[in-house]
Amino acid sequence: MPQTKFLLDEKDLPTHWYNVVADMPNPPSPPLGPDGQPVGPDALAAIFPPALIEQEVSAERFIPIPEPVREIYRLWRPSPLYRARRLEAALGTPAKIYYKYEGVSPAGSHKPNTAVAQAYYNAEAGIHRLTTETGAGQWGSALALAGRMFDIQVRVYMVKVSYEQKPFRRSLMQTWEAEVIPSPSDQTESGRKILAEHPDSPGSLGIAISEAVEEAASRADTNYSLGSVLNHVLLHQTVIGLEARKQFELAGDYPDAVFAPCGGGSNFGGVAFPFFADKAAGRAVRLVAVEPASCPTLTRGHYAYDFGDTVGLTPLLRMYTLGHDFVPPEIHAGGLRYHGDSALVSQLYHEGLIEAVAVPQVATFEAGVLFARAEGIVPAPESNHAIRAVIDEALACKERGEPRTLFFNLSGHGHFDMGAYDKYFSGDLKDYEYPESEIQAALARLPKVAGG
């Protein structure tokens, strides 16, 4: 009987996270301070606990997952790997399509994999209050959940457009006792500054990060937690790819190409980095980050030092960026509306070791609906980006008669995103290609750094 799901036992849950730095051909570019000099770990101590700072700069290949974190992972992990036989049939493709489903987490996406770890290390360091930002609401929900489990009070600055589009994400965060504030807000200097210049600002992840970082840096009892971009976040997400590799062994198969939606890079890094280890060891596997055409960081941005937030409070990271004051259009994949990208993902892309494609919004929903009608699961709008790219690849395989094995991470479900699906069904969803002139204008405002 053809098998559909490849399931691991709880005892197969990874014991270690995988650190891609150990297999990168060149060491990562260091974060820089406002003086253009590398920032030491001390500079991060105001907002992060020591264990996370250590992980941020570690070059160890494997880092142990603490048992209390594994205990919480076991509530939903290992997550299933599916063979999308019904989608393959619907497309009439000779390609084999697999997906790993991270929507089985209580918050509905991959984000709790790092939220739980970050909450644990903060609680260990005696911190019981965290601030963060959220775009789609997936990350805010994940940290709200993790905060609840480690007795940490969580304040979430939620990008205003998502706050309005997704009232029930807000309720979910409140169920787990988090406080949710629409950003830009009048609660911080950063928010007030943006509101003074742009009273109708829809907000952006960059602005919300400024607010959350400002508050954490100004309060001794509060740390900051980020749901993407940073090395330790991508590290925690590697449980996805590590499990997937074991599941491919069960399936007796191996992907020719791995696809993942990419905003700040934690979902892509989480699924793709363990396969990068195989690639570094000589195995042929393509790793493809998929981003929105309206926020085309890797495909149209510059590789340069830039701030991680809009106001300029964070250290400078060397990454692909559209400029820190770039405010992306109000697309429905809120989690992908970020001006920058992970430094690790950026460096691998710059060195030609991974690939990136950009896809337009309407085509992503078309792909998501096709997927839902074949496989049942209604994907998050972010996940629809990877599905679009996989369907395009599967159709190209059909054209060429190539039976490739394609794999993607279905990073979350779309149950709180039905407003966006409604817009798609009523024909109100629009494509938005960011004008080159606006990208160039934002890039002209990049901080000036030697070697950047």
Bridge partners, residue 407, by sequence: 98, 258
Q: Taking CB under 6 A as the rule, does residue 136 contact ligand PLP?
A: yes
| Integer Cα distance of 208 and 213 in angstroms | 9
Nearest-approach distance from CB 264 to ligand PLP, in angstroms: 4
Nearest-approach distance from CB 68 to ligand PLP, in angstroms: 24
Residue nearest to ligand PLP (CB): 335
Give the contact letters, 50-69, x = binds to ligand PLP (CB under 6 A), - = no. Answer: --------------------
Question: Residue 93 or residue 147: which is nearer to ligand PLP going by CB?
Answer: 147
Q: How many residues bind ligand PLP (CB under 6 A)?
A: 21
Nearest-approach distance from CB 333 to ligand PLP, in angstroms: 8
Q: Taking CB under 6 A as the rule, does residue 382 contact ligand PLP?
A: yes
Cβ–Cβ under 8 Å, residues 337 and 207? no
Nearest-approach distance from CB 400 to ligand PLP, in angstroms: 29
Cβ–Cβ under 8 Å, residues 208 and 310? no
Nearest-approach distance from CB 33 to ligand PLP, in angstroms: 25
Q: Which one of 32-40, 133-141, 351-359, 360-368 is the stretch in contact with ligand PLP (CB under 6 A)?
A: 133-141
Cβ–Cβ under 8 Å, residues 102 and 243? no
Distance of CA 146 to the CA centre of its chain: 17
Exposure string over 229-265, b if 16+ CB within 10 A, otherwise e: bbbbbbbbbbbbbbbbbbbbeebebebbbbbbbbbbb
Nearest-approach distance from CB 173 to ligand PLP, in angstroms: 14
| Integer Cα distance of 406 and 259 in angstroms | 8
Question: Residue 294 or residue 383: which is nearer to ligand PLP going by CB?
Answer: 383
* Window 394-423: residues binding ligand PLP (CB under 6 A): 411-412
Nearest-approach distance from CB 35 to ligand PLP, in angstroms: 29
Q: Which one of 182-190, 238-246, 375-383, 398-406 is the stretch in contact with ligand PLP (CB under 6 A)?
A: 375-383
Nearest-approach distance from CB 321 to ligand PLP, in angstroms: 14
Question: Residue 93 or residue 141: which is nearer to ligand PLP going by CB?
Answer: 141
Nearest-approach distance from CB 15 to ligand PLP, in angstroms: 24
Nearest-approach distance from CB 263 to ligand PLP, in angstroms: 3
Q: Taking CB under 6 A as the rule, does residue 113 contact ligand PLP?
A: no
Look at the block and give the residue holding tokens 């429905």.
332
Among positions 335, 340, 360, 368, the unique one binding ligand PLP when judged by CB under 6 A: 335
* Window 207-246: residues binding ligand PLP (CB under 6 A): 228
Give the contact letters, 247-286, x = binds to ligand PLP (CB under 6 A), - = no. Answer: --------------xxxxxxxx------------------
Question: Residue 323 or residue 335: which is nearer to ligand PLP going by CB?
Answer: 335
Q: Which of 334, 416, 431, 414 is nearest to 369 (CA)?
A: 414
Cβ–Cβ under 8 Å, residues 61 and 48? no
Q: Which one of 26-34, 77-85, 130-138, 184-192 is the stretch in contact with ligand PLP (CB under 6 A)?
A: 130-138
Question: Residue 79 or residue 93: which is nearer to ligand PLP going by CB?
Answer: 79
Cβ–Cβ under 8 Å, residues 150 and 140? no
Structure token pair of residue 197: 């210049």
Nearest-approach distance from CB 399 to ligand PLP, in angstroms: 28
Question: Residue 122 or residue 384: which is nearer to ligand PLP going by CB?
Answer: 384
Structure token pair of residue 109: 């996406």
Site residues for ligand PLP per CB under 6 A: 109, 135-136, 138-139, 228, 261-268, 335-336, 380, 382-383, 411-412
